[in-house]
Structure 1
Amino acid sequence: MNKEKSETKTIKHLSSKDIGMSDPRARLKALSDQGSNVEMDRNIPPQRYYRSGVEMIRMADMYMKDNDLEHAYILYVKFITIFVEKIRDHPQFHMVPSKDKEQNQQTLRKIIPKAEELKKQLLEQYQADFEKYLEDAKEREKIEKEKLKQEELEKLREEEERKNKQAALAAVRAAKAAMSTVVTSPEESKLKKVPSIAQKPLISLSTDIAAQTSKEKRTPTIDRSTKPSVLMSDNLTLRDIVLPTKLMHNFLMVAFGNTMNNKETCGILAGKIERHKLVVTHLLIPEQTGSPDSCVTHNEEDIFDYQDQHNLITLGWIHTHPTQTAFLSSVDLHTHCAYQLMMAEAIAIVCAPKYDETGFFILTPEYGLDFIANCRESGFHPHPTKPPLYMEAKHCKMDVTAAIEVVDLRRK
C-alpha cells in the first residue's frame, strides 16, 4: 500500500508524455496497434500477401534470434491481422491455391501461441523498465530539490554579503565626513591626534567572487535524458538499409543491353538483418519484359524459391530509366507501394544512365503511402504533386567494402 502511494506521488512529477511512454500496458498496446494497423490494397493480388507472409515470419524469426522482441512481436501481430482478419475480404481471395491457404493455417497455429508468449515476456520487461524509471524519477526529483535548496542558500549568502558591504561603505563615508568637520588650532594639533575610526578592509569584487566560488559545494547536475533508451524510441524512425556501393554499377552492367535498346530493366534487392540494420546482399534479376517506360516480371516463383533456399528477405527493388531522369512514375509508385506496405524501410532505386543520376526513394509515410494504397487507377495516370507522394530515402547507407551477389534468373 505504501509503495503504491509512493509511486503515485512520483508519477505526479512525470509529464503526460513520459507516463504514456513508460506505462507497461500503454507501451504494449502501442506495439499491438502498430502491428494491427494494416490496410489491404485490393490492387495487390492476394498471392503477393501470402508470399509476403512467408518473409514476414522469416524476418520475425531473425529478430527473435537477435533478441529484438519488439520488432518480432510487431511482425507476428501483423501476420495474424492480415491472415485472420483481413485477407478473406480481398475480392480475389477465392483464387488463392488451397495449398497456400493450408500452409498459412499451419503457420498461424504456431504463430498465435508464440505471439501470446512473447506478449507476456514484453509485459514483464516493460514492467521492469517502468519500475526502474520510477526509481530514476525519484532520484532526479531528489537531486532537483537539493539543487533548489543550494540555490536558495546561495541567494541568502549573496544578500547577506551585499548588506555587509553596504554597511562597510556607509561606515567609511561617515568617518570621512567626521574628519572633514573637525577644526583644531595648530597648537592643539601638536598635542592631540584626531582619533581614527578602524576601517574594515574592503574586498575587491574579483577576490570576493573567487572566495565565493571556493566555498560553493559542487551540486550534482541533472541529466533529463536519463530515461531508458527504449522509452525514448521513435516508432517513425526507419532502420538503416546498407547498400554495397558497387550495386548500382553491377546492375547497370546487367541492364546494358536493354538500356541500349531503350528498354527498362528491373531487379529485386534481397538481404538480411544484422544488428538492427537491413543489409542488401543479393541482387536478383527475374524473368521480365521491358519497354521504354515500364518493366513486367514473370515467373516470380523463381525469386521466391531462391530466397527461401538462401533465407533472404526482400528489401526493395531497382530499375532503370533508359532515356529519362531518376524519378518515380505513377506506375512506379503503385509498384513500390506493395513493397513498402510490407516493410516500411523498403526502397526503390532508379538508375538514369543517360543523365548519370541515381535516385533512392520511398513513399512519404505520412501521406503518399496511404494515398497510393487507396488509389484505384491503373496504368500511367496523373497524381497530385502536393503534398509530395514520395521522398528521398535518407535511411540508405553506402558501404564501399560490402559485397553484392548478382543472381540472373532470366531464362536465356
Structure 2
Amino acid sequence: MGDHTDVSLPPEERFHALTKKGSLVEVNDDVPPRRYFRSGMEMIRMASIYTEEGNIERAFVLYNKYITLFIEKLPKHRDYKTANIPEKKDTVKKLKEVAFPQAEVLKKALLRRFEQEYAEYLVKKKAEEAAMAQEQSKRRALDAERERVAEMQRRQREQEQFSAFEEMIRRQELEKERQRVLLEFATPATPPADTPLLPGIQGPPLSPGYISGGNDYQHTRPSAPIGSPTAGPPSFDRSLKPGSLVSPGNNSMVDALRQLAVPAELCRSFLRLAEANTSRAIETCGILCGKLTRNAFTVTHVIVPKQCGGPDYCDTENEEELFLVQDQYDLITLGWIHVRNRRWFSPLLTTKSAHHH
C-alpha cells in the first residue's frame, strides 16, 4: 500500500491509503466504554477545526476514525451492552448528522484535489522526461562529437607519422643515390707503388673478414683454396683500425662535396693477403668500406667475403653475410679492390659489387 501523500499515485489509490489510515482504531476491553465516548466527542471537535482550517486530510481521518470506532470497534467491547452510557444517544446522532455527511463531503474534495495533483504530477513528469531525454540527446551528441574529434586527431597523427616515415625513406633513398652517383663518378687516387698500406697480412680468409690499419694482426690461413667456399660467420679483428691515413691533400679523392681518405698500408696488405691465390692464378676480391665523418669518407675496413675465383673472375657467395657485417658495424660501401696476378692489380673506388670483375 502506498503513502497517501505520494502525488505519483492515482487519486483512488491515494484516497484508499488515506481511508485505511483512518480505520486504524483499536479498542481495549480494560478501558471503560464511556471513556471511548468522551474521546469520540473530542474527535468530532478536532475534525471540525481541521475542516475550518482547510486541513481536510486530517479532518477526514478523524471523521473516519469516529465512524470506525462507534460502528465497528466499540460495539465489540466486552462491557458495551451492559454499560449505562448517557452519551450513546448523542453519539448516534453525531454519526448520522455530522460524521457521515462530513466524511462524504471531504471524500469528494480530497478526490478532486488528488486528481488535480496527479494531473500536475503527470505534466511535470512529462516535462522532466522530455528535459532528461533532451539532456541525454545532448550528452550523446557531445560524446559522439568528442569521439569524432578524437578519431580525426588519431587519423591525423597516423597520417603525420606515415608522412614523416615516407619523407625519411625518401631522404634515405636520395642520400643513397647521391652517394652512389658521387662515388661512381669520382676519380680514385693512385697511391705510390712502393708505399705499404697494412702490414702483417699473411693470407686470404675463407670467411668474410676485413683489413684495417694497425700493427698487430692475427689471421687464420685458409685450409682450402678460395674456389672452395666454407661456412662460418664473418670474423673481424677490431685492433686493425687504420693507424695512419693518407693526407687528404696527397692521397684522397676530392670533388665538390666529399673527400676520401684511405689507409697508407691498404694496397700492399691486400696484395699480401691475396698472395696465396695470386700464386695459383686465382683472382681475389675485397670490398672497401668505411665511415662518413666531417663531410669526408674514410676507408676503415676491407671485407674479403666468401668467394669463388679463377684466373679472370671472382664471384662472391653468401652476400647476406656481407650485408650483415656491414649493418653490424654501420659501414658504408665505398668501392672494391681485387688482384688477378702479380702484374694486374686494381683498387677501384666504386659502389659496384664484386661480381665478375
- Shorter-chain TM-score: which interval? 0.3 to 0.5
Q: Provide TM-score, normalisation by structure 2.
A: 0.45
Which structure has the higher relative contact order (CA within 8 Å, separation 6+)? 1
